[in-house]
Amino acid sequence: MSKIVEKVFKSHPNAKKVFTTSDGMPFVNEHNAKLHSKTLKDKTVKTHERPKEESEKVTAKELIDQIEAAKTVAEIDALVPEGEKRSTVLAAVEKAKKELDEGGGDE
């Protein structure tokens, strides 16, 4: 695994996958990676799975901080694990998405 991919997994502890384009640009959202790849001669998007031993659950506070820092709804969706049940996290997701929708954030 490349250092760039490792760094992305470290900075996005809930991301299960990282996508890289042929120019080495990393993304936590596949859609954004595919959009970027359209601007490149080589349109390949490679998927990197998080190694099993690294998939620890982060605290609600850490996850909420990441959600609040997200710049798009798609990024929020990529951060939140499937089946997330913590009410504080779900409330932060709803609030952040609403703020992005009102502020014109991308999907």
Question: Per-residue pLDDT tens for 62-74?
Answer: 999 999 999 999 8
Helix residue ranges, H only, 15-59: 30-37
CA distances from 16 to 7, 8, 104 (A): 13, 11, 27
| pTM greater than the 0.75 cutoff | no
Residue 104 clears pLDDT 70, i.e. is over it: no
